[in-house]
Chain A
C-alpha cells in the first residue's frame, strides 16, 4: 500500500497528490512515469512523475479527472492509501545543453513538462514556457514554472486569461519577434502536439513530445502502447514516452487512443450511478 501524504486542488478538474513510494522515489528522473491502481478491482493507469523527494521517499503526481479511475483517485484523501504504484517507468528525458529551450504545455500537459524544464534550468539552460488552456481555469502550474524560466506566456482559447489564441500562435509570434530556440518540448493533448510539431517544423525547430497512448503493464509486455515513430513500431512505455515529434504518426495515435471510447462512456455513466 502506498500512502497519500498530501493533496491539493489545482483547478476544478486537476489535482496534485504526494504519495509515499520509496522504490519509485529512489531512482526516478524527469520524463519518467508511474502506473497506479487505486483499489483491488481497479484499472492500471499511467501518470507522469511531476516531482520527487528522494530523502522522504515521496513522488508527486498531477492528474486531470477525466474518467472512472481518475475520479476514484480524486475521492481519496491524505492518510488514505493507493493499492499499487509502480515505477519509475519509461526512459528519462534526454536533456541537451542547449542555449535556449521553449516548453509548450497544454492543459494538464504542464505537469509532465515541469520536471523537464526544471532539470534544464538546473543544467543552466535558459527556458521560456507557453502554457495553454481552454480558459483561465485550465492554465496550471504558472507559479511553479516562474522560478525556473525567464518568461511564462499564457494563451487561452477564449481569452479569459493571457493572450487569446492557441499555443502555436504564440510560438509563431515569438519566433517572428526574433527569439531563437534550439529546441521545443511540447506536451499536451495529441491535437495540440500534432499542430505544435507542424508549426515547429515550418520554423525549423527540433521538437520533442511526450506521448500518452493507452497502457497496461508499462514494462514492454503487452504492446498495447505501440506507436509508429519514423515508420517503425515503438512501445511508448519502454522506448518513450518522449519521442522526436517530427517522426510521430499522430493520426494513428489519436485513433488508437480512442479505442475504448464506448466502454469509457459506459463505465462513466455507471460510475456516476
Chain B
C-alpha cells in the first residue's frame, strides 16, 4: 500500500541564516529511511507520465521501486542506463516543469520527489563505489568533442562506451562547463562534478584542456590534420549580454559570468589563499530574474554583502528561475525589486554608487507569451550600491562560427541542426546543448549529446 501523504518527505537543509554565510551545500540530502519513505509515495503508474516528462526518459517508476525495496545499487544502474549525471540532475533539473510536473501524485498534493530520490541514489552509489573501468572493444575511430559541459560530457561518454576514441577539447583550465564555472558550490558541489568527469575519463575519454577550437585548432584541421572522423560541438552559450545603459563600464559592474567565474572557478571566496579577487561591497544589485541571477545574488550574500537586491523588469509570475531557487533566495534574505527596469548606473570617481531604475507595469503579452513590461514615466529612483551584477542572458560565443566555413547559424548565433540527429549543415559536424538552443538546461544539453552520439555512431557504421 502506497504512502498517501500529500506532501514530499522534507529534505534536510542548512538553516537560511547559517548557509547564507558559507559555501557548503544548501540541501543536505535524504537519509536511507527518508528516501524509502518518499519512494513508497510512488503509485507505480502503468502509464508512466513522469517518464515522458523527463527529457532523457529516466525509467522513474522502476528506479523508485528499487529504492522502496532498499536496493539502492540496482536503482543506480537503472537510472544510469538513461542518465549519465544523476547526482547533477537530481540537484539542478527543473523537476517542477519536467518529471514532477506530470506526476500523478501532483494532482492532489505534491508530486513524488523524483529529483531528491535521484540525488539520493547517486550520492549513495558514489559514497560506496569508485568509478569503474569497463572492458570496451575499441573501434580505432577518432571522434572529437568541443567543450566539456553536460552536452560534451554526455556525447563523449556514450561514444566511448561504443568503442570510439574520444578526445574532448576544452578552452578553460578545468572541465565541466557551466557545472564548474557557473553553478555555485552551494547548489552543486564541485567534487561531485569532478567525480562525474573522472568516470568519463575511466571510459577512456581523453580531455585536453586549454585548447580553444577556432583559435588553437580549427574544426577543419581536426578532420584534415588530426584524423577525426566526426566532431561534436557542445561549446555552450558563454557570451554575456549587457544592458547597454550609461555607466555600465564603471568599476564595480560585473557580468554574472565574471562574478560567478571569479567565485566558483577561481575560488575568490578563499581570497587571499586563492589569488583571484572579487569585489562585493556592502550593497549589491543583481539585474535579471533567472537561475543565473539567483546564483549571483546568493553568492554575493555569501561573499559578505549586507543587502542584496534582485532587480527584474517583470513580475513574480514571470521570473524565469526555478521556484525552489527563488524560495531559497528569499529565505536567505535576498530583496526582490520586481517590476523595476535599470536605466543608468550612477558612479563617482569611476566606481559604482547606485542604480537608477524605472517602475514598470505589465501590458499585453509579447511574442514570448509573457506580458510586456511598460515603463511608468517619471517613476525614476536610485538604489544606492557598491556593486552591480548583470545577469540578463548569454548567447553562443562567435569564435566557432567565425572559423568554420560551411557551418550555418541563426542570426542570434545558435548553430542550426536537424533535431533528430543534431547534424549541422557541415559534413561530419554535430552540435547540441546551449550552442544550439541558447541558454537552456543541463538535462536538455545532455539529451542533445546523447542524440548526437547515436547519430554519429550510425553515420560512422555506414561508412
Contact = CB atoms under 8 A, between A and B. Distances in A.
Interface of A: 23-24, 26-27, 37, 41-44, 68-69, 83-89, 216-217, 219-224, 226-228, 233, 238, 252, 255-256, 258-260, 263-264, 266-267, 270
Contacts of A42: 275
22 contacts: A27-B215, A41-B273, A41-B274, A43-B266, A86-B209, A86-B212, A216-B262, A216-B266, A216-B276, A217-B171, A219-B397, A220-B398, A220-B399, A223-B240, A223-B257, A224-B255, A252-B249, A252-B350, A259-B252, A264-B277, A267-B271, A267-B275
Contacts of A233: 242, 244, 248-249
A258 B277 CA distance: 13
A259 B238 CA distance: 24
B275 A221 contact: no
Given A86-B171, A221-B261, A228 B272 contact: no
Contact of B399 (A88, A219, A224): A219
A68 B279 contact: no
B217 interface: yes
B249 A23 contact: no
B251 interface: yes
B210 A84 contact: yes
B173 A84 contact: yes
B129 to A, nearest CB: 26
B275 A27 contact: no
Point out which of A83, A221, A264 has the most chain B C-beta atoms below 10 A from its C-beta. Answer: A221
A191 B398 CA distance: 32
B173 A86 contact: yes
Point out which of B248, B255, B275 has the most chain A C-beta atoms below 10 A from its C-beta. Answer: B275
Interface of B is mostly: loop
B255 A222 contact: yes
A255 B350 contact: yes
Given A220-B238, A220-B397, A221-B240, A68 B275 contact: yes
Given A222-B240, A238-B399, A267-B272, A83 B173 contact: yes
B275 A87 contact: no
Contacts of B255: 222-224
A135 to B, nearest CB: 30
Interface in B243-291: 244, 248-249, 251-252, 254-255, 257-258, 261-262, 266-267, 271-277, 279
Contacts of A217: 171-172, 261
Contacts of B350: 252, 255-256
A219 B242 CA distance: 16
Contact of B215 (A88, A259, A266): A88
Given A221-B397, A222-B255, A255-B350, A89 B215 contact: yes
Interface string B207-220: 00111100111000
Contact of A256 (B249, B258, B266): B249
Contacts of A267: 271-272, 275, 277
B217 A220 contact: no
Nearest to B350: A255
A161 to B, nearest CB: 35
A270 B398 CA distance: 40
